[in-house]
């Protein structure tokens, strides 16, 4: 068996690599090998518990691949035969390739906590069967403990708090929820909403053991507190899935992801890696960073798919801008680039400013909510380093204005003079536009900094 | 009487010039002279008929000016005494200035139609008293004819169609509604919604007379059709308000706006002009264009306010990008830069592509609607020329991603590789993101064009 392009992994990175490669090289045969036959749209997994009426509605459809004439196989690749350009399946079957792409994603990190293997303790698997079963268990649960208050943990807590029958506890080792993506004031707003929705939040807090006999019955924290639990979700982070790459002798980067160059090429000819399994470099520091986002993965996939038979499009993006968005209760929150906290940790001298305005004008227009925009700039060059936004749903696209600004190295003066489209029923007023105003306020601070 | 900086006009351009100048030059006194004492937020005027419960809620507040320590006067400036740096009021009083800024806006164009001065025929004035009275008249009207199907006409038609008691007719001379801002397919979608809401649309159609004895009773079209009308709204465009500038001998540009240089300086020392009264140049052609947007006006105001005592920030924006958004029924529509039609009219060789995707993922998430993104690129350089978007409310910020892309001369390849933030409850899926996909589809067409 042979396929010109073989892609290992059926998540967003694999799918978009396949679709891009097929559109750029229509004469090549492309095959996607999926380990999970019933994979789901990963970002929407928390919402499969309640918001989405039927878990099946969140299936990752094969149709776009089929429509493009891409083959799909379900199976597990065990190893590479690099000399013969083959991938080998568990049964010993093989598939020859001209180009192979690893899009193996991440595996959940299972913390070394006593009792983590008890029945009733789950890490999130990305299959429909698992999540349908989990939905059933959640519905019947009375006390749920979520370990890890990053995006997945916070989103699960939000979703589960909509069941009035469930007590939800959320445990986070860091000082705040969503600590890696947001500065404190945004973290605090998110936590406040979850608290109002009845979630019990424990920050600066670690789990010392998960307890129970035949199944989980409680979780004990390091501070001694014992929380009743008949269901525990572990959302404690993930690590790149690199076993296959390691076995094949591919170079592994310092943070245990698959090393890739600017064009997603691994250290072995004709093997590429894209998405969460591949090395991510930070846009500003170029350090290896653990930013695993479908949006970053698909950008890499378009890069790899386009350039797979020779580099035709010079890649101009220096690394991941870490553009996140989420919604907690009715508050949408988004972040791109550096936070003030990461600036301080990485030694960037930043100036930031925050502006608020209703996201409709006048602010009494039905459906209006307050939008907050924080922008962060380098204190001498004035180039944008990052931004954070909270408010109504349009936050989801407002952050993409900021994400593009970062990718284009826009300066504070350019945002201060930016022409924005506005409309009473859709946006803030042009006179108080929080994106422009945040830049304007930052400029005033930059002048003071320059004098100092 | 003396004020260091005197600003004539209390609309968005005047207010933002005042606030910017005061923030950059806090030691200077600033005075805003408003002709209308009870001015309203102009963009929201159509929504004062019904959506906004009480017209007073749309007042243009003086508080931001007062808080900044800016003086406000209500009065009409009759002329300039340029030699003595004075503005003269109708009563003969004067106010001395170091710097004066004209922010006089536009006047409605009253078409030379027979009967246009009949009672019951109105152009839109920007005062609370007028609009409160108009709201009362609208409520009691049975047959309303709106002359002009640009943004204001279409938005009034949408708003008035929410009164079940009113028959609304909308008359437009061009082949489509919203013809200057959108390509046909978007115009058609907007018209279809208005039609479903019961608006009678007449395109390619002119009014030959407005009829009635003591007040308007009908409108006769050039095709002979007679439409009953007891209220007629004329939204037939506007022209820059330049009388004061003309009297003062300021240079007037070819399209009858006040000529300004890159820094909003008129041909007379120490007099600036900003906003709708000032010359607008198109971003791509540099031609004088009649684009009157509060968002463009406020960008000019920030430019003028910052540079009023000497040029300190080199202006980097070549002209107006014409970034519009609106909402018709439940469909939000937005446009920035050139349309395919304007490309053809102006001799630009463009390639465009359109992508659609639900604005949530999966598409069955509650509140999801289909988002359509059309992007237009120069066929050789691949630089973005324009974009149009329709869909749910997040269209209002999605267009600002495109507006920034235009201002930064982003290429089709950069958008194809752009990293976007996505979230199931807020945006399209990263795998089918319509902004990225439209660029990807355009790239395929550009390859074919290159071969041709």
If you write DSSP's letter for every residue of B266-323 in order, what string do you get?
-SSTTEEE-GGGB--BBTTT--B-----HHHHHHHHHHHHHHTTS--S-----SB---
CA distance B7 to B100: 6
Is the Cα dihedral A54, A59, A62, A68 positive or negative?
positive
Same domain membership, residue A341 and residue A303:
no
Q: Which of A48, A49, A236, A228 is nearest to A145 (CA)?
A: A228
- For residue B253, pLDDT over 70 is answered with yes
Strands B324-328 and B370-378: unpaired
Amino acid A451: pLDDT: 67
pLDDT tens digits, A365-418: 989 999 999 999 999 999 999 999 999 999 999 999 999 999 999 999 999 999
Structure tokens at B69: 């320590």
Cα distance from A215 to chain B (closest Cα, Å)?
Answer: 33
Q: Are B230 and B371 in contact (CB under 8 A)?
A: no
> What's the mean pLDDT when you consider all of chain A?
95
Q: Return all residues near A111 (Cβ < 8 A) that are at least 6 apart.
A: A147, A207, A234, A236
Half-sphere exposure of A77 (CA within 13 A, CB side): 31
The confidence band for B447, taking pLDDT boundaries of 50, 70 and 90, is: confident
Q: Which residues of A fall within a CB distance of 8 Å from B362? A: 41, 44, 52, 57-58
**Candidate from A325, A361, A433 with C-beta closest to B421:** A325
Q: Is B66 inside a domain boundary?
A: no
CA distance A349 to B366: 42
Q: Is A362 inside a domain boundary?
A: yes
Enumerate long-range contacts of B251-255, CB under 8 Å, 24 or more apart: B253/B279, B253/B288, B254/B288, B255/B279, B255/B288, B255/B289, B255/B290
Domain ends where: A307, A339, A364?
A307
Percent of chain A at pLDDT > 70 equals 99
CA distance A288 to A365: 45
Please state the rounded mean pLDDT for residues B147-156: 97
CB contact under 8 A, A323 and B419: yes
Q: Which of A351, A407, A18, A22 is nearest to B421 (CA)?
A: A407
Q: Which of B11, B49, B14, B51 is nearest to B30 (CA)?
A: B14
Quick check: helix, strand or coil at residue A49?
coil
Q: Which residues of B352-387 are buried (b: 16+ CB within 10 A; e: fewer)?
A: bbbbbbbbbbbeebeebbebbbbbbbbbeebbbbbb
CB contact under 8 A, A421 and B396: yes
**Candidate from A23, A394, A396 with C-beta closest to B423:** A396
Cis before B362 (ω within 30): yes
**Candidate from A47, A417, A444 with C-beta closest to B317:** A417
Q: Is B44 inside a domain boundary?
A: no
CA distance B408 to A414: 9
CB contact under 8 A, B417 and A317: yes
Q: Is B436 inside a domain boundary?
A: yes
Cis before A362 (ω within 30): yes
CA distance B309 to B300: 15
**Candidate from B41, B51, B403 with C-beta closest to A419:** B403
CA distance A261 to A247: 20
Q: What is the C-alpha end-to-end distance of chain B, expressed in Å?
A: 69
Same domain membership, residue A228 and residue A174:
yes
Q: What is the strand order of the sheet B143-147 is part of?
A: B121-123, B231-234, B143-147, B167-171, B200-202
Residue with tokens 């005197």: B6
Q: Are B382 and B335 in contact (CB under 8 A)?
A: no
Same domain membership, residue A384 and residue A435:
yes
Amino acid B231: pLDDT: 98
Residue B382, domain CATH: 3.50.50.60
CA distance A241 to A277: 6
Cα distance from A9 to chain B (closest Cα, Å)?
Answer: 14
- For residue B342, pLDDT over 70 is answered with yes
Q: What is the strand order of the sheet B384-391 is part of?
A: B324-328, B331-337, B384-391, B370-378, B350-358
- For residue B312, pLDDT over 90 is answered with no
CA distance A161 to A156: 8
**Candidate from A327, A336, A410 with C-beta closest to B408:** A410
CB contact under 8 A, A408 and B403: no
Residue with tokens 């553009």: A323
Q: Which of A165, A238, A170, A166 is nearest to A207 (CA)?
A: A170
Q: Is B50 inside a domain boundary?
A: no
Same domain membership, residue A244 and residue A100:
yes
Domain ends where: B307, B339, B363?
B307
Same domain membership, residue B88 and residue B159:
no
Amino acid B33: pLDDT: 97
CB contact under 8 A, A427 and B397: yes
**What is the separation of C-alpha B43 from the centre of its chain, rounded to a whole number of angstroms?**
8
The confidence band for A1, taking pLDDT boundaries of 50, 70 and 90, is: confident
Same domain membership, residue A131 and residue A96:
no
pLDDT tens digits, A144-160: 999 999 999 999 999 99
Same domain membership, residue A417 and residue A335:
yes
CB contact under 8 A, A419 and B316: no
- For residue B449, pLDDT over 80 is answered with no
Element (H, E) at B331: strand B331-337
pLDDT tens digits, B77-121: 999 999 999 999 988 899 999 999 999 999 999 999 999 999 999
pLDDT tens digits, A90-118: 888 999 999 999 999 999 999 999 999 99
CA distance A148 to B5: 56
pLDDT tens digits, B108-117: 999 999 999 9
Higher pLDDT, A323 or B448: A323
Cα distance from A316 to chain B (closest Cα, Å)?
Answer: 8
Q: Which residues of A fall within a CB distance of 8 Å from B315? A: 417
Percent of chain B at pLDDT > 70 equals 99
Q: Which residues of A fall within a CB distance of 8 Å from B332? A: 423, 425-426
Q: Which residues of A fall within a CB distance of 8 Å from B317? A: 417, 419
Higher pLDDT, B124 or B313: B124
Residue A366, domain CATH: 3.30.390.30
Q: Return all residues near B223 (Cβ < 8 A) that are at least 6 apart.
A: B205
Amino acid B451: pLDDT: 67
pTM of the full structure: 0.96
pLDDT tens digits, A126-137: 999 999 999 999
Q: Which residues pair with A227 in a beta bridge?
A: A219
- For residue A287, pLDDT over 70 is answered with yes
- For residue B133, pLDDT over 90 is answered with yes
Q: Are A30 and A18 in contact (CB under 8 A)?
A: yes
Same domain membership, residue A29 and residue A12:
yes
Residue of B nearest to A443 (CA): B24
Domain ends where: B210, B236, B262?
B236
CB contact under 8 A, A423 and B393: no
pLDDT tens digits, A421-449: 999 999 999 999 999 999 999 998 988 77
Q: Which residues of A fall within a CB distance of 8 Å from B408? A: 404, 408, 410, 414
Amino acid A318: pLDDT: 80
Q: Is A47 inside a domain boundary?
A: no
Q: Return all residues near A140 (Cβ < 8 A) that are at least 6 apart.
A: none
Q: Are B166 and B141 in contact (CB under 8 A)?
A: yes
**What is the separation of C-alpha A22 from the centre of its chain, rounded to a whole number of angstroms?**
26
Residues in chain A: 452
Enumerate long-range contacts of A138-141, CB under 8 Å, 24 or more apart: A138/A49, A138/A163, A138/A166, A138/A231, A139/A163, A141/A166, A141/A230, A141/A231
**Candidate from A58, A366, A401 with C-beta closest to B362:** A58
User: What phi-psi label fits residue B394: left (phi over 0), alpha (psi between -120 and 50 degrees) or beta?
Assistant: alpha
* φ and ψ of A445, to 5 deg: -70, -35
Same domain membership, residue B118 and residue B81:
no
Q: Is B49 inside a domain boundary?
A: no
Same domain membership, residue B229 and residue B130:
yes
Q: Which residues of B252-266 are buried (b: 16+ CB within 10 A; e: fewer)?
A: bbeeebbbbeebbbb
CB contact under 8 A, B334 and A421: yes
Cα distance from B214 to chain A (closest Cα, Å)?
Answer: 36
Residue with tokens 């967003």: A12
Q: Which residues of B fall within a CB distance of 8 Å from A427? A: 325, 396-397
Q: Which residues of B fall within a CB distance of 8 Å from A421? A: 293, 295, 323-325, 334, 336, 396, 399-400, 403
Q: Which residues of B406-434 are buried (b: 16+ CB within 10 A; e: fewer)?
A: bbbebbbbbbbbbbbbbbbbbbbbbbbbb
Same domain membership, residue B165 and residue B114:
yes
Amino acid A452: pLDDT: 60
Q: Which residues of B fall within a CB distance of 8 Å from A57? A: 362, 364
**Candidate from A362, A394, A431 with C-beta closest to B58:** A362
- For residue A450, pLDDT over 80 is answered with no
CB contact under 8 A, B414 and A316: yes
Quick check: helix, strand or coil at residue A263?
coil
Structure tokens at B299: 């960008």
Cα distance from A407 to chain B (closest Cα, Å)?
Answer: 8
ipTM beyond 0.90? yes
CA distance A123 to A148: 11
Q: Which residues of A fall within a CB distance of 8 Å from B434? A: none
What is the count of structural domains for chain B?
Answer: 3
CA distance B47 to B124: 13
Strands B350-358 and B370-378: antiparallel
pLDDT tens digits, B357-385: 999 999 999 999 999 999 999 999 999 99
Substitution target in B397, B407, B436 with the highest count of A β-carbons within 10 Å is B397
Residue with tokens 């089929």: A66
Q: Which of A248, A296, A286, A253 is nearest to A268 (CA)?
A: A248
Q: Is A95 inside a domain boundary?
A: yes
CB contact under 8 A, A294 and B393: no
Strands B331-337 and B324-328: antiparallel
Q: How many helices (H) and strands (E) in chain A?
A: 11, 23
CB contact under 8 A, B326 and A401: no
Higher pLDDT, B318 or A237: A237
**Candidate from A396, A430, A444 with C-beta closest to B394:** A396
pLDDT tens digits, A157-187: 999 999 999 999 999 999 999 999 999 999 9
Q: Which residues of A fall within a CB distance of 8 Å from B404? A: 401, 404-405, 408, 410, 418
Q: Which of A318, A256, A253, A312 is nearest to A286 (CA)?
A: A318
Amino acid B324: pLDDT: 95
- How many other CB atoms are there within 10 angstroms of residue B187's CB atom? 25
* DSSP 8-state assignment for residue A274: -
Residue with tokens 């520091």: A285
How large is the C-alpha radius of gyration of chain B? Answer: 23
Substitution target in B126, B301, B390, B396 with the highest count of A β-carbons within 10 Å is B396
Q: Which residues of A fall within a CB distance of 8 Å from B432? A: 64
Q: Are B76 and B241 in contact (CB under 8 A)?
A: no
CA distances from A420 to A380, B279, B322, B435 (A): 25, 19, 9, 17
Q: Which domain holds residue B209?
A: 110-236
CB contact under 8 A, B41 and A420: no
Same domain membership, residue A102 and residue A205:
no
CB contact under 8 A, A421 and B325: yes
Please state the rounded mean pLDDT for residues A203-229: 97
């Amino acid at each position: 068996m042979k396929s010109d392009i073989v892609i290992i992994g059926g998540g967003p990175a694999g799918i978009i690599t396949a679709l891009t490669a097929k559109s750029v090289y229509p004469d090549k045969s492309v095959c996607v090998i999926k380990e999970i036959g019933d994979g789901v749209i990963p970002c929407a997994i928390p919402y499969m518990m309640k918001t989405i009426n039927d878990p099946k509605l969140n299936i990752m459809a094969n149709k776009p691949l089929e429509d493009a004439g891409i083959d799909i196989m379900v199976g597990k690749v065990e190893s590479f035969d690099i000399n013969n350009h083959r991938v080998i399946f568990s049964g010993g079957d093989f598939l020859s390739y001209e180009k192979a792409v690893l899009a193996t994603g991440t595996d959940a990190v299972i913390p070394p906590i006593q009792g983590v293997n008890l029945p009733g303790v789950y890490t999130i698997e990305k299959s429909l069967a698992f999540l349908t079963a989990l939905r059933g268990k959640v519905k019947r649960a009375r006390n749920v403990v979520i370990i890890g208050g990053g995006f997945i943990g916070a989103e699960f807590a939000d979703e589960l708090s909509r069941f009035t029958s469930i007590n939800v506890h959320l445990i986070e080792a860091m000082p705040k929820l969503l600590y890696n993506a947001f500065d404190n004031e945004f973290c605090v707003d998110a936590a406040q909403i979850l608290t109002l929705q009845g979630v019990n939040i424990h920050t600066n807090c670690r789990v010392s053991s998960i307890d129970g006999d035949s199944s989980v019955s409680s979780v004990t924290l390091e501070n001694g507190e014992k929380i009743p639990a008949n269901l525990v979700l572990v959302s404690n982070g993930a690590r790149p899935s690199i076993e296959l790459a390691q076995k094949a002798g591919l170079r592994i980067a310092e943070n245990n992801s698959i090393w890739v160059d600017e064009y997603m090429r691994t250290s072995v000819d004709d093997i590429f890696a894209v998405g969460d399994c591949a090395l991510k470099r930070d846009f500003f520091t170029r350090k290896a960073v653990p930013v695993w986002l479908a949006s970053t993965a698909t950008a890499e996939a378009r890069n790899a798919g386009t350039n797979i038979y020779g580099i035709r499009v010079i890649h101009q993006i220096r690394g991941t801008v870490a553009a996140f968005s989420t919604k907690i209760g009715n508050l949408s929150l988004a972040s791109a680039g550096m936070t003030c906290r990461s600036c301080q940790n990485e030694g960037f001298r930043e100036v930031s400013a925050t502006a608020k305005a209703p996201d409709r004008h006048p602010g009494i227009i039905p459906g209006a909510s307050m939008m907050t925009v924080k922008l962060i700039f380098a204190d001498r060059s004035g180039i944008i380093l990052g931004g954070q936004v909270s408010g109504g749903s349009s936050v989801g696209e407002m952050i993409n204005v900021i994400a593009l600004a970062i990718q284009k190295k826009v300066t504070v003066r350019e945002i201060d003079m930016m022409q924005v489209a506005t409309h009473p029923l859709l946006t803030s007023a042009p006179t108080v536009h929080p994106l422009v105003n945040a830049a304007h306020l930052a400029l005033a601070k930059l002048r003071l900094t320059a004098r100092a």
